[in-house]
Amino acid sequence: MSGKVFLVGAGPGDPGLLTVRAAELIATADLVAIDALVSKEIAERVPPGTEVIHVGKRSSAHTLPQDEINALLVEEAKKGRRVVRLKGGDPFVFGRGGEEAEEIAAAGIAFEVVPGISSSIAGPAYAGIPVTHRSHATSLTLVTGHESEESTGINWPVLAKLGGTVVFMMGFANLPLIVRKLTEFGMSPQKPIAVISKATTREQRTVTGTLADIEAKIAAANLPTPALIVVGDVVKEHEIINWFETRPLFGRRVVVTRAREQASDLKRLLEESGAQVLQFPTIEIAPPDSWDSVDAVIDKLAGYQWLIFTSTNGVKGFFERLHLKGKDARALAGCRIAAVGDTTAADLESRGIAADLVPPKFQSTALLPLLEADQKGIRTAVVRAAEGREELIEELRRRGGTVDLAVAYQTKAADYDIEELRQLIAAGSIDAVTFTSASTVDHFFSKLTAEERARVNGQAVLASIGPTTTEAVRRYGKSPDVEAKSASVQALHDAVVERVAAVAK
């Protein structure tokens, strides 16, 4: 039985621009034949176990010739496999998708074309350049920039007089030729032009000028490929609506050390502010070795005056166990509830429980001034990690109270490839590191050499979510540069933005 080939556009680089259909096909493919221009973040969506063949297709550096790619797609589909041909941009916009579709059709193989967002449109948009604008351009012309001096493929006399917006794709190496031909055939040397490097990625750079001075500006800027060229009066809009490159963390690399399953909100906030985020999950959250302590608390909830949750992980583990035992939030009706941190309180609220007490600092001992000085006759259960600190429990007992510990989870060192982080530290390319708990601090620095620790302390903004985390950072030779005003990922993000913006000034 024959399989099927899917010619899929991966978009221009930003993984957020991948279409829903493309994501579905990547997740269900038997084989993915992938271009070099497909971003790393999108390539990482290919599930483990799926065969991946890198076919190159970067300018002047093809891993496989086009005829061999065509043959590969046909042969693999004939084996009954679902084959995804994953291309940067759109398959039919200078992507040779038409040639591949012809070969597949000729072989009698079923196929589907999934359009992708072309860099010819997305690149200018991310540079704040609308390719059409009522005041500047009512037409758009796309041109391949591969043409050589002798080529007759481009009708330069017509193109130079066409007006509107002209986008040259894959033409960076031929910029001098493009400039010369356009001006030779009548385009004004003062015509605005922009060169956009690594469009839609967090390494994007845009250089604008005129046909008369763009070559000198590009030589000074040392732009890397891939890059596209936009010619036309719409380039004037770059200075007005340049939304992407002006974000507060644009071009900055931020390391997120939180457990991968918890990092998504912080990663999203940082990326929306323009940061390039490296996830380095130093810890992973795991169930406790035994649920006995949690079960014991649940079984005698009616006997507690206070139930204290020190983290969202504690809330999650406790309530999962509560539900497993056939109970729900009503079982807590007789207890007063304390939550350490705004995020912990919000998690409880999402489960229908309003915390009676939330300390001003993300620190369990910050509860002590708010609790009764005389704890005689008061029974308290503290829900936390196996590795939690003992000061709160010890002080409540010293005051005469009865305190039971419910271990709802534990943290373990995550198994993570550290090589990319080491390379960035060596290159001085880390701008900030975020820490959301003392355990993330300890596991992060324990993986580094003494020299690497010193480099991080010297080059990066260290950002802490609260006092306990701050104390942990200090043990490694430097106080955090910034501490969040409240124990939430939003506040941590805001603190990073404020600090990095201040450094930039």
Does 240 have pLDDT greater than 50? Answer: yes
Q: CATH for 121-241, among 3.40.710.10, 1.20.140.10, 3.30.950.10, 3.30.70.930?
A: 3.30.950.10
Does 350 have pLDDT greater than 50? Answer: yes
Q: What is the CATH number of domain 4-117?
A: 3.40.1010.10
User: Region 434-453: what's the mean pLDDT?
Assistant: 91
Percent residues over pLDDT 70 in the chain? 96
Query: 66-75: which pairs have CB atoms within 8 A and are 24 or more residues apart?
Result: 66/96, 66/99, 69/33, 69/100, 70/99, 70/100, 70/103, 70/104, 71/103, 72/33, 73/5, 73/33, 73/100, 73/103, 73/104, 73/109, 74/5, 74/103, 74/104, 74/107, 74/109
Can you read off the two tokens belonging to residue 355? Answer: 């915390």
Can you read off the two tokens belonging to residue 116? Answer: 């992708």
What pLDDT band is residue 287 in, cutting at 50, 70 and 90? very high
pLDDT digits (tens, 9 = 90+) for 256-281: 997 666 668 899 999 999 999 988 88
User: Region 450-477: what's the mean pLDDT?
Assistant: 93
User: Region 428-455: what's the mean pLDDT?
Assistant: 92
Does 11 have pLDDT greater than 70? Answer: yes
What pLDDT band is residue 342 in, cutting at 50, 70 and 90? confident
Q: Which residues are catalytic?
A: 35, 57
pLDDT digits (tens, 9 = 90+) for 71-91: 899 999 999 999 999 999 999
Which residue in 276, 125, 124, 270 sits closest to 203, CA to CA? 276
Report the range of poorest mean pLDDT among 150-159, 310-319, 335-344.
150-159
Q: Tell me if the domain spanning 286-412 has CATH number 3.30.460.10.
A: no
pLDDT digits (tens, 9 = 90+) for 357-407: 999 888 888 899 999 999 999 999 999 998 888 999 999 999 999 999 999
pLDDT at 60: 47
The DSSP call for residue 28 is H
pLDDT digits (tens, 9 = 90+) for 168-213: 998 888 999 999 999 999 999 999 999 999 999 988 999 999 999 9
pLDDT at 261: 63
Q: What is the CATH number of domain 253-282+414-504?
A: 3.40.50.10090
Give residue limits of the domains in the chain: 4-117, 121-241, 253-282+414-504, 286-412
pLDDT digits (tens, 9 = 90+) for 379-391: 999 999 988 889 9
Domains 253-282+414-504 and 286-412 are alike in CATH topology: yes
d(C-alpha 387, C-alpha 407), whole Å: 9
This prediction's pTM: 0.77
